[in-house]
Amino acid sequence: MTFWTHLSLRAKLLTAGIALTLLPLVVVGGLVEFSNEKMARTASEECQILAKADLDHITEAIYTICETQHQVLQSGVDSGLAVARAALDRAGGVDTDADAPVRWDAVNQYTKVKTTVDLPALVIGDERLRGVREAGVREALVDDVQDQVGGTCTIFQRMNPAGDMLCVSTNFLKTDGQLAMGTFIPAVNPDGKP
């Protein structure tokens, strides 16, 4: 208290003026800082809410695109199958000739393991599938279907009771340029799923 009593009136007024000026500035500065932190936090939360809502819209749009693409592809598959069925009916249907078995060196398309299997020959109408394995040599049904729909066509024959399916006629080319004849799709995939 002795400090204050020894000051001149001018110094006292100056000190009081500075204190009265600084005190509101400090209080206002503190309030502004508190408000800024609160606004920043609120803005951040709102941005996250908006981003999540926008992400939900984007996800819905992507799902809709995928669903539409699935429908287009399924429609193409259905049309292709209808063409194949009609071509098969025009050719006279399919039958097997157990008197003329065909020996296949069947290759698992996943593991590349070869298995020898004898299967009855498939006959379409009155034409026996030749098992042609050279690209460019026509096989009646699969090439007729390809001419009509533009996609590949494959005929599978069940190999065994497990349900492994052997490609016995196709116009699908493997990466080496050869037809995928003699490859088979196992009933159980390498991951153990059917």
Residue 67: the pLDDT is: 95
Question: Cα(133)–Cα(139) distance, rounded to whole angstroms?
Answer: 10
pLDDT along the chain (194 residues), means of 10: 74 81 82 83 85 84 94 92 91 88 90 92 85 73 87 91 92 84 89 79
Question: Cα(38)–Cα(47) distance, rounded to whole angstroms?
Answer: 14
For residue 193, being part of any structural domain is answered with: no
For residue 190, being part of any structural domain is answered with: no
Do 39 and 121 belong together in one domain?
no
What does the block give as tokens for 152? 């590949």
Do 11 and 81 belong together in one domain?
yes
Do 29 and 106 belong together in one domain?
no
- Return all residues near 133 (Cβ < 8 A) that are at least 6 apart: 178, 179, 181, 182
Question: Cα(42)–Cα(86) distance, rounded to whole angstroms?
Answer: 65
Domain boundary, last residue among 91, 121, 156: 91
Do 138 and 55 belong together in one domain?
no
Residue 113: the pLDDT is: 92
Do 104 and 87 belong together in one domain?
no
C-beta separation of 170 from 155 below 8 A: yes
Do 81 and 98 belong together in one domain?
no
Radius of gyration, CA atoms only, the chain: 40
For residue 191, being part of any structural domain is answered with: no
For residue 9, being part of any structural domain is answered with: yes
Burial class (CB in 10 A: 0-12, 13-18, 19+), 148: middle
DSSP string, 152-174: --EEEEE-STT--EEEEEE--B-
C-beta separation of 183 from 167 below 8 A: yes
Do 84 and 100 belong together in one domain?
no
Question: Cα(194)–Cα(189) distance, rounded to whole angstroms?
Answer: 6
C-beta separation of 169 from 154 below 8 A: yes
What does the block give as tokens for 82? 């209808």
Note the maximum CA span of the chain: 130
Range of the domain at 85: 1-91
Residue 1: the pLDDT is: 58
Measured in whole angstroms, the distance separating CA 140 from the mean position of its chain's CA atoms is 34
Question: Structural domain tally of the chain?
Answer: 2
Q: Considering only CA atoms, which of 100, 114, 117 is closest in space to residue 158?
A: 117
Residue 174: the pLDDT is: 83
